[in-house]
Amino acid sequence: MSDQKPQALPALPKYVLVRKPNGTPKARFYYQIVDTENNVIISQRFSNRAYVAATINGSHYFGRVELVGKGDHGRYLHNCQLKKQEPQPVAYLVEQ
């Protein structure tokens, strides 16, 4: 037997994107953006697409991680910077 202590599980980020199967032809997946500290659903969406990240208000969903900060989301971040506003955080997919 070793004297190693068990490693603690990594803490969940404050916001996570949860994907659940929906089972209907129009929308295969049901997505929820969840505040893990308060266990509250902030945003939800049905879709046929497989997303890996989303802004917590649900305005932008991303099919690949490298798309975060690009295209419309990049323009949104730039406008927030110009207006000195805090942009919406991004929630990443957590597999269940």
Q: How many domains does the chain have?
A: 1
Identify the pLDDT of residue 6: 61
Identify the pLDDT of residue 51: 94
Q: Is the pTM of this model over 0.85?
A: no
Residue 84 lies in a domain: yes
CA atoms of 94 and 96, how far apart (whole Å): 6
Residue 10 lies in a domain: no
Greater model confidence, 10 or 57 = 57
For residue 84, the enclosing domain spans 15-93
DSSP 53: E
* Residues 6+ away with beta carbon under 8 Å from 83: none
The 10s digit of each residue's pLDDT in 21-73 is 988 888 999 999 999 899 999 999 999 999 999 999 999 999 999 999 999 99
Residue 42 lies in a domain: yes
Residue written as token pair 């949860």: 18
Identify the pLDDT of residue 12: 67
Which tokens go with 27? 């929308």
